[in-house]
Amino acid sequence: MKKPRRRKEPAARIVLVLHAHLPYARVPSERFPAQELWLYQNMAECYIPLLRVLTRLADEGVRFPLTASLSPTLVAMLGDAHYRERFADYLDCVIALARVHAVPGGALSDALALLADRLEETRAYWNDARADLAGPFRALSERGAATLITTTATHALLPAYRYSPALERLQIRAGQELFARAFGPAPRGLWLPEMGYHAGLDETLSACGVEYTFLEAHSAYQGTDSPEHGNFMPFASESGLVVFPRELVLSGAVWAHRTGYPGDGRYREFHADYTWQMSELELARQGLKRAPLGVKVHRITGENVPREPYDAAAARGAARTHAADFMARVRDRAAEITPILGRAPVFTLPFDMELFGHWWYEGPEFLEELARLAAASGDVEFVTPEELVREGVEASGRPAEGSWGKSGYFDTWLNPACLHASSIIAELAARLFALAPNARSLRAYRQAAAEIMLAQSSDWPFFISWDRFADYGRARLDEHITAAARILAGMEAGEIDDDYVRTREELYPLFAASSIESII
C-alpha cells in the first residue's frame, strides 16, 4: 500500500490582518462633505478592489485566508441608504469628470481614461452587489476565504478608560452587537483600537467572549513575564486571551513612510488630486464645488519637481516585483528566526486596510500577487488566528501596556490637548450607569449612551494631535459631550426633551435599534 504523501511543513506562517475603520460622519446638508468623501474614496479604491481580489482568488482555489477587522461604525455606514445613494452619485460624478477632461493628446488623457474605466468596473461591481458590501464580505467568510472580526463600538482607545471597566465593557459589547447584526454571531477575535492595551484588559476581553487580539511587539517583549518566543508566536495571557504580537521588520517593509514599498516612484501619487486643476465650468455642470474628489492621475515624482502622468503598466510591474521581494524577505527572516525558536515562526502582520488601495493604490495588486506566489511556493503559508488557536497555544505571558501610535504608547490620544475630554466622558458614563431606564426614558437613555460612545472615538484626539481636521475633531468632541450632558440632565430631572432626543437620533442613528440597556 502506498504511503500518503506528507505535507511539507512551511518555512513560515503569516497571519495577515487588515483593519478597516472610519469615524461615523454624517452631513446630510452637503452633497460631498470631506468627512463623507473619506468613506466613498475608500469604498472605490480599497474595499471593492480588495473584495474583487479575494473573490477572484477564492474562485480560482488560491488559498489566501485574510483576517478582516471591520469596525462597527464602518459597517453601519456601509449598510445605510444615505451613504449608498451618495456613493453611487460620487462614482457617476468622478467618472464623468475624468471622461470630459481626458482630452485627446493631453498629457493626462490616458491616465484619466484609465481612472474612468476602473471606476466603471467598480460601479458594475457595486450594482451587481446591490449596493451592499457587507454581503460580499459575509460570502467570503462563509467560503472560508476570510475571517471577519470587529473592534469596539466607536473605536475608543480603551486605556483611556481603564478606571471605568463598565465603560470598556459597553464599548466592547456594543461593538459585538452591531457586528452581529450584519454578520451573525459575535466574532471570536477583537481588534483593539490603536492596539491600545493596559494591564488587566485581557480579563475584561475574556469576560466579553473575546478569544484573541493583536498587539504591538513591545507589548510582548516588555511584559512582566515575556513569552519565550517573543513576538514570533502567539501566546496566552493569564485570562486565556490569545495575543498575536506584530512582527516589525516585515511590517515595516510595507508601511514604512520613506523606505516602504508604497513610496516607489512608479506608484500612483496619493497627495496630488487633479480636481484642483479642473475646469470650473465642468464642475458646475456636475453641480459640484471644488473639493478633493480623488481624481488622482499622477505617479510619485517627489517634492519640488514637475508631476508626471501615472503609468499603470509600470505600477503593475512594481507591485509584482515588490511581492516577489517580500516573499524573499519572509524566507530570509524565517531563516534568521527559526534556529533561535527551534521551529518555524508565525509572522503576524497587521495593517490598516485602507493602506491597500486608498493610500497605496496598487496595494490590492500587491496582495493578489503575494497570494499567488505563496500558493505556488508552498514554503510560506497564510493562516488565520483561529487556525492557530485551534492547534493550541503553548507560550504564555503578561502583555505590557502600549499601542502602535507615536512613541509606542498613548501620546497621540492622551496628551494635554485631549486628556481632559476622557475625564468628562468617564463622568458622563458614571451618570448614565446610575440611571435605571423605564419605558418612558428608554429612548433617551440609548441616545445618551450613543453620544458618550461617539465622543469616545479615537479619531477625534487623533485629528487634534496631528493637526489634521483638528477643528472638526474638537467640534465632534464638544458636540457629543454637550448632547450627552443635556440628555442626562433631562433624565435626572424627569424632564426629557423628546424632540431633541429624536433630532440627535436622526443625525446619528448608529445605535437607534440596539439594546444598549441590556448590555449595560
> What is the pLDDT averaged over residues 357-363?
97
402 and 420 share one domain? no
| Within a domain: 352 | yes
251 and 353 share one domain? yes
> What is the pLDDT averaged over residues 459-464?
94
Per-residue confidence band for 221, with pLDDT thresholds at 50, 70 and 90: confident
The pLDDT of residue 516 is 84
| Within a domain: 125 | no
**Which position has the grid cell 471591520?**
70
Nearest to 274 by CA among 100, 469, 84, 39: 100
| pLDDT tens digits, one per residue of 32-46 | 999 999 999 999 999
**Residue 464 lies in domain:** 412-519
Asked if the model's pLDDT at residue 3 lies above 60, the reply is no
Read off the CATH number of the domain in which 213 is found: 3.20.110.10
Residues 6+ apart with CB under 8 A from 4: none
Per-residue confidence band for 302, with pLDDT thresholds at 50, 70 and 90: confident
392 and 482 share one domain? no
Higher pLDDT, 207 or 279: 207
Alpha-carbon distance of 433 to 413, in angstroms, equals: 25
181 and 43 share one domain? yes
Alpha-carbon distance of 256 to 95, in angstroms, equals: 32
Backbone angles phi, psi at 481, to 5 degrees: -65, -45
170 and 147 share one domain? yes
Mean pLDDT across the chain, nearest whole number?
A: 93
416 and 398 share one domain? no
402 and 428 share one domain? no
72 and 165 share one domain? yes
Alpha-carbon distance of 161 to 157, in angstroms, equals: 8
| Within a domain: 104 | no
The pLDDT of residue 353 is 98
pTM to 2 decimal places: 0.95
**Which position has the grid cell 476602473?**
118
Read off the CATH number of the domain in which 425 is found: 1.20.1430.10
Asked if the model's pLDDT at residue 258 lies above 90, the reply is no
Among 372, 391, 406, the domain-final residue is 406
| pLDDT tens digits, one per residue of 165-193 | 999 999 999 999 999 999 988 899 999 99
| Within a domain: 340 | yes
Q: How many CA atoms lie within 13 A of 24 on its CB side?
A: 27
C-alpha distances (whole Å) from 501 to each of 81, 368, 447, 518 are 22, 47, 7, 20
Per-residue confidence band for 8, with pLDDT thresholds at 50, 70 and 90: low
| Within a domain: 499 | yes
**Which position has the grid cell 514604512?**
256
The pLDDT of residue 4 is 40
Q: How many domains is the chain partitioned into structurally?
A: 2
Asked if the model's pLDDT at residue 2 lies above 50, the reply is no
The pLDDT of residue 209 is 97
| Within a domain: 290 | no
Residues above pLDDT 70, as percent of the chain: 98
Alpha-carbon distance of 187 to 191, in angstroms, equals: 10
Q: How many residues does the chain have?
A: 520
334 and 355 share one domain? yes
Q: What is the DSSP letter of 509?
A: G
Encoded amino acid at 387, one letter = E
Q: What is the DSSP letter of 66?
A: E
Asked if the model's pLDDT at residue 50 lies above 70, the reply is yes
512 and 424 share one domain? yes
Beta carbons of 428 and 488 less than 8 angstroms apart: yes
| Within a domain: 249 | yes
Beta carbons of 415 and 465 less than 8 angstroms apart: yes
Asked if the model's pLDDT at residue 1 lies above 70, the reply is no
> What is the pLDDT averaged over residues 203-226?
89
Among 345, 378, 406, the domain-final residue is 406
Alpha-carbon distance of 479 to 504, in angstroms, equals: 10
Among 349, 374, 406, the domain-final residue is 406
Nearest to 171 by CA among 453, 414, 425, 481: 453
Residues 6+ apart with CB under 8 A from 271: none
> What is the pLDDT averaged over residues 475-503?
97
Residues 6+ apart with CB under 8 A from 338: 11, 344, 345
Alpha-carbon distance of 109 to 115, in angstroms, equals: 10
Tally Cβ neighbours within 10 Å of residue 311: 17
| Within a domain: 103 | no
Per-residue confidence band for 265, with pLDDT thresholds at 50, 70 and 90: very high
375 and 497 share one domain? no
469 and 381 share one domain? no
Beta strands in 246-320 (DSSP E): 298-299, 308-309
